[in-house]
Structure 1
Amino acid sequence: MDERKLLELIEGKKYAQIKNELSEMNEVDVAELLDPLDAHLTLLIFRMLPKDLAVEVFAHFSTEQQLGIINSITDKEVEYIVDELFFDDMIDLIEEMPANIVKKILKSAKEEERKLINQFLKYPVDSAGSIMTIEYVELRKGLTVKEALTHIKEIGLNKETVYTCYVTDQKRTLEGFVSLRTLVTSDEDKIIEDIMEDEVIKVYTHDDQESVANVFIKYGFLALPVVDNENRLTGIITVDDIMDIMEQEATEDFQIMAAMSPSEEAYLDAGVMTLAKNRLPWLLILMISATFTGRIMGKFEDVLSSIVVLSTFIPMLMDTGGNSGSQSSTLIIRGLATGEITTHDWWKVLWKELRISAIVGVVLAVINFLRIILLEKVEMKVALTVSLTVVITVIASKIVGGILPLIAKKLKLDPAIMAGPLITTIVDALALIVYFSIAKSLLGI
């Protein structure tokens, strides 16, 4: 069903057909289908859905849609949604809602859940603890396979995943894990302790969510246990949740690399003033920093006035330097994000970028030299000045672009800060200093 057909069925008041067709659809598709509708129609269709599907659709609604639904439905309906939502989805909901709605949600939650919610909300933003869920299967190592499978059948429907079960002791200390595949293929009389894996890859509640995402990428897990400082199992993070985090982190990096303050709002939902505020500070910083370029040109005004043709090559040199630095920084920032590169690899990065830049710089310089001599008809010394500047600028730019993100990471800053606009500003100044210094030396100005 598409939006046009849905609106036709609503106009014809064919509600039974709407309910039947939506019931056969995936909850993500239903949420997407209802997204463009106004609040009244969304609520109308939402109330038609089977209860189980309605809860799953609710979890995929935007914050605005969820707010509209909660404001419009009864306390009993809110209680049902809160009871049926997975715990991590409930935490996400509470974090996004205004205080009056949070009170309504907490009022509908059980006392034990309220205590857990308060505990979760105390974890630092963007930490593993803030994104984990308590909907996991926990086993004791003394159980038999048969007893474990019976236990999973009893509680599995209420858990976010049953593919990996975690083995703990009486104090909830994490001792190992066992996969569902291992359970269903093992003899039913075997003890869990004999078939479990005791080498567990885990994260801690206060670990940054970006480092958690890197663990998922490295090992390809479907779920990852989260423990406290005493190795007690606190929750798990599932791959669907970490995919959302990866998208957020990638979006944030793109925004920073484009010289904008990060924002979680969708572009079309964000206000004009909000977007302007996100862009203005960085543009202001870069504009002020660009005055250094003007000061450098003013300092070498005598060089430009002596040989005016030198000024025609300045845009090309600055663009080449900026592009070279951006290429290196993009690769290094990506390597840091995926864990392929660490701050300990700075020497390897420096050595590799030095060799790459030497090759690239020489090739560009030779082509540029021939172009200036044959097409521009400029004297040999000027062509040589420009070409030597190209070599040095490319080498300096690629080293700066490769090393600055590593320095940012070492200082616990976001490496994306050291991307395109900032590196271009630094490299522009370097290119001009090198250019005019070589010109003064070779041309005897």
Structure 2
Amino acid sequence: MEGIRDFDIVKELLKTKQYTSLRQKMAEMNAADIAVVLEEMDEEDLLKVFRILPKNMAADVFSYLEVDSQQFIITSLSEKDAAGIIDNLMADDATDLLEEMPANVVKKLLANANPDTRRDINHLLRYPEDSAGSIMTVEYVDLKENMTVEDAISRIRKVGMDSETINICYVLDAKRTLVGTVALRYLLISPGDAVIGDIMHENVIFINTMMDQEEVARQFQKYDFTAMPVVDNENRLVGIITVDDVVDILQEEATEDMEKMAAIVPSDKPYMKTSVIETWKKRMPWLLLLMISAAFTGSILTTFEDALMAYGVLIAYIPMLMDTGGNAGGQASVTIIRGLSLNEIEFKDGFRVLWKEMRVALLCGITLSAANFVKLLLLDKVGLPVALVVCLTLVAAVLIAKVVGCMLPMLAKKIGFDPAVMASPFITTIVDVLSLLVYFQIATHLLHIA
């Protein structure tokens, strides 16, 4: 409700041209809340309000905006004003923005940015996408071993405003090799003449620049840190990653996995800002592939056309068998994919996972078959042979689905694919084909269909 009230107030002040009051109102608001208000406005009003923002707030508000809004503002401002925004952003945020912009715009912005900003951005742009190096920030507090606590505090006062965090300071030697860390609270309670080398923590946990961002998130989860240093192959400190970046990574990775599991090509844009054509392009490739693969089920039905003609009642239970198999496979695949993403399961655990899922499948299959057997005889009034065919197929379908659902994601990860690709839609198609084959093989033998 607070966000709606702020939006109405800002719109009214803008409409009545009370710009001084509007500026005062926004000075009292949090930068993230202002960004929410701006996102609700049309482009013309968004730009007007952004220009009215106090200069010390503009960069903070800008960093909370969606990429589309950021690009609109940057391209609407003069080159000098746009470069000023870039200069006031943290280097990692500025890099993320520039990666999404046309090359000619990036060239102009960097040409007008100050040399330090330009150097930091160019440094971050060297690293592969989704690596630790690409998401780190180069704004941190570094100290020397031979500094005193008093010297260290003076340095924090000097560079702290431009640093991502001052809670943890990083101790470097003459070659900029990371040799330790010291928390701000230790500096505050230590004597002014104490030497940093004597009070620093030497057992430092760090991240390599080439580490995948998903593994970075796992490291934060494992150690419960709010910031971690990033080093190159020679253990020289080149940046830090903070927990707010990790929250963004987790959201991005979770969204990507969900889209892959639903057979959608991942997108970086929010749903409401993705056009119909873009959405179509993201969904069609997998739909085409799954449609083609589903054609196998039609081929199987054609092959066993005689059996269907002789026992037409068998047709009625095909949807139930296929749906149950698909659901069972989906349960197994989602569980295994989640375990793989959290490093709870590894490929070497394959036999243990398979044995466990087979036992679960038998229990589930027998339970479902028992319930279905009663229904077939009492409600559907089918003969005992047909009931046996359906129930035996149900056990087999659940068993096949669980095995396929647990093994395909593990095999995918082993050969370098994202396990999420092997989620429900893909597994369902495989299970449907195998279940139909088993169904008609059992029917052929038990019902003596030639």
TM-score (norm 1): 0.96
Moved more, 406-415 or 212-221: 212-221
* Residue 39 (structure 1) aligns with: 43
Separation in 2, partners of 1:176, 1:348? 42
CA gap of 1:218–1:380, structure 2 versus 1, over 3 A, is same
* Residue 128 (structure 1) aligns with: 132
Which residue identity is paired with 1:321?
A: G
Moved more, 58-67 or 236-245: 58-67
1:407 paired to 2:408: no
Separation in 2, partners of 1:73, 1:303? 72
1:74 paired to 2:55: no
CA gap of 1:351–1:189, structure 2 versus 1, over 3 A, is farther
* Residue 273 (structure 2) aligns with: 269
Task: Note the residue ranges of structure 1 that are not aligned, 5 or more in a row.
Answer: none
1:301 paired to 2:305: yes
1:363: Cα distance to partner? 0.8
Which residue identity is paired with 2:184?
A: L
Which residue identity is paired with 1:201?
A: I
SS in 1 for 2:128: coil
Deviations 1:386-412 (A, max 9, x none): 111111111111111111111111111
Q: Which among 360, 367, 385 is matched to residue 364 of structure 2?
A: 360
Moved more, 328-337 or 63-72: 63-72
* Residue 86 (structure 1) aligns with: 90
Separation in 2, partners of 1:235, 1:69? 28
Separation in 2, partners of 1:297, 1:127? 48
1:299: Cα distance to partner? 1.7
1:218 paired to 2:241: no
* Residue 311 (structure 1) aligns with: 315
Separation in 1, partners of 2:204, 2:94? 28
Aligned residue pairs total: 445
1:191: Cα distance to partner? 2.9
SS in 1 for 2:175: coil
1:171: Cα distance to partner? 0.9
Root mean square deviation of aligned Cα: 1.7
Q: Which among 320, 331, 339 is matched to residue 324 of structure 2?
A: 320
Deviations 1:110-151 (A, max 9, x none): 334323322321211111111111011112222233332232
1:236 paired to 2:240: yes
1:327: Cα distance to partner? 0.6
Contact (CA 8 Å) 1:300, 1:436: kept in 2 or not? Answer: yes
Contact (CA 8 Å) 1:82, 1:108: kept in 2 or not? Answer: no
Q: Which among 387, 392, 397 is matched to residue 396 of structure 2?
A: 392
Deviations 1:282-315 (A, max 9, x none): 1111011011111112222222222221111111
**Equivalent residue runs for 1:2-81 within 5 Å:** 2-81=6-85
Deviations 1:29-86 (A, max 9, x none): 1011011223332222112221111111111222332233223333432343222211
Contact (CA 8 Å) 1:63, 1:97: kept in 2 or not? Answer: no
1:167 paired to 2:188: no
Which residue identity is paired with 1:223?
A: A
1:204 paired to 2:208: yes
**Equivalent residue runs for 1:331-350 within 5 Å:** 331-350=335-354
Which residue identity is paired with 2:78?
A: T
Deviations 1:294-353 (A, max 9, x none): 111222222222222111111100000000000111111112222222223222221221
TM-score (norm 2): 0.95
Contact (CA 8 Å) 2:120, 2:138: kept in 1 or not? Answer: no
Contact (CA 8 Å) 1:217, 1:338: kept in 2 or not? Answer: no
1:261: Cα distance to partner? 1.1
Contact (CA 8 Å) 2:92, 2:121: kept in 1 or not? Answer: no
Moved more, 406-415 or 262-271: 262-271
1:423: Cα distance to partner? 0.3
Task: Note the residue ranges of structure 2 that are not aligned, 5 or more in a row.
Answer: none
Contact (CA 8 Å) 1:209, 1:245: kept in 2 or not? Answer: yes
* Residue 178 (structure 1) aligns with: 182
Deviations 1:265-292 (A, max 9, x none): 2222222111111111111110110111
Separation in 2, partners of 1:347, 1:152? 54
| Matched-pair identity in % | 51
Contact (CA 8 Å) 2:376, 2:387: kept in 1 or not? Answer: yes
Separation in 2, partners of 1:193, 1:351? 54
Which residue identity is paired with 1:242?
A: V
Separation in 2, partners of 1:24, 1:305? 77
Moved more, 391-400 or 343-352: 343-352
Separation in 1, partners of 2:211, 2:61? 30
CA gap of 1:187–1:336, structure 2 versus 1, over 3 A, is farther
1:187: Cα distance to partner? 4.1
CA gap of 1:440–1:180, structure 2 versus 1, over 3 A, is same
SS in 2 for 1:366: helix
* Residue 286 (structure 2) aligns with: 282
Separation in 2, partners of 1:307, 1:139? 82
SS in 1 for 2:268: coil
CA gap of 1:288–1:74, structure 2 versus 1, over 3 A, is closer
Which residue identity is paired with 2:50?
A: F
* Residue 444 (structure 1) aligns with: 448
Separation in 1, partners of 2:83, 2:284? 44
Separation in 2, partners of 1:241, 1:184? 27
Contact (CA 8 Å) 2:91, 2:120: kept in 1 or not? Answer: no
